[in-house]
Amino acid sequence: MNNYNHIDLFSGIGGFALGLNKSGIITQEFVEYEEYLQRVLTKHWPNVKIHKDIRDYHAPKNPFVITGGFPCSDISIGNPHGKGLEGERSGLWTEYLRIINESKPKYVIIENVFTLLSKGLGTILQNLAESGYDSTYTIIDSQHCGVPQRRRRVYILGVRDGIPRGTDPLANSIRSGKELRAKVDSIKGQFKWSFEARENSEEPIAYFTRQRSDQYAEKGVASTITKRDWKSFTDIVLCNNGVLRRTGIKERLRLQGIPDYWLDDCGLTNQQKYMANGMSIPVTQWLGEKLIQFDNLISK
């Protein structure tokens, strides 16, 4: 049995855990506040304990990795007046930091929206340094990891024992060359959508991504799916009977690399299923694989 144990904060429907489990890292505990999301976690990890409130949570000592994407409400571009890490929701970063300081994990992975770059990244890196962690960060767009969704996220890696000179745990140097960028730019046109069949011959024949509030364009890559899509959907599908509709629940799961059945038999309403938003599995699996490679390298 390996020692790659994992504590998952702000767990949602388990996007971090599912990807890391695929890489060989085993989830030990969850922390998730919403009861309907806890039901999803219980279905897929029936033997893993779930803690409700991060403010009351104390993690086991010295886990291999702690992960979490703390709430982006006060950081998101959708909230231009948000107070960043001083806000009520995004301010839960301080609880994440407390848990790091108490449990001293070997590694920490922190996820958040792209706007974290200007609304708190420096503070987080400083907090990690003051806690004794070297850190590096990267930006990963889900569409470049095998799912047709434009979803840029910031991922911060903290390393308790330091990042040795000459190592590159997140492969930033490999992923930033001009030649590779040219290859990445060609990915968008290569995606082939496979939508679920709908009743009444509503099979989709075209997919349109919102470019502006009043303009859609046929694309092979979806806009970033969000919780607020329940009220104001972002992208539309044209069916072969002329019906226009929003993307379906299973289609949204596929955009994240999550199995179609993931939310089945959990007692969720349609609204809750649309709000069950989270990590892209190919991204979290890639992060887990890179983390194990890095750990093996520095442990030699």
pLDDT tens readout for residues 28-78 = 999 999 999 999 999 999 999 999 999 999 999 999 999 999 999 899 887
Say what the pLDDT of residue 237 is: 82
- Rounded Cα gap, residues 282 and 269, in angstroms: 26
Pick from 111-115, 146-150, 227-231, 287-291: least confident? 227-231
Alpha-carbon Rg for the chain in angstroms: 19
Using CA atoms, how far residue 168 sits from 172, 281, 291, in Å, is: 7, 22, 11
Indicate whether 12 and 161 sit together in one domain. yes
Indicate whether 59 and 148 sit together in one domain. yes
Say what the pLDDT of residue 260 is: 93
- Rounded Cα gap, residues 262 and 19, in angstroms: 14
Residue 194 has pLDDT above 60, yes or no: no
Mean pLDDT of 205-226: 75
**Domain residue limits at 22:** 5-183+279-298
Indicate whether 171 and 73 sit together in one domain. yes
At residue 152, what are phi and psi to the nearest 5 degrees?
-90, 130
Six-digit token string for 270: 């349609």
Indicate whether 12 and 64 sit together in one domain. yes
Q: Catalytic amino acids?
A: 72
Residue owning tokens 């200007």 = 118
How much helix, strand and coil, in percent to the nearest 5, is found in the chain? 35, 20, 45
Say what the pLDDT of residue 2 is: 64
Cβ-contact 117, 154 below 8 angstroms: yes
Indicate whether 29 and 83 sit together in one domain. yes
Indicate whether 165 and 108 sit together in one domain. yes
CA 43-44-45 angle, to 5 degrees, is 100
Identity of the amino acid at 291? L
Confidence of residue 174 (pLDDT cuts 50, 70, 90): confident
At residue 158, what are phi and psi to the nearest 5 degrees?
-105, 135
- Between residues 251 and 42, the one the model is more confident about: 42
Q: What is the number of other CB atoms lying within 10 angstroms of the CB of residue 231?
A: 9
Indicate whether 49 and 137 sit together in one domain. yes
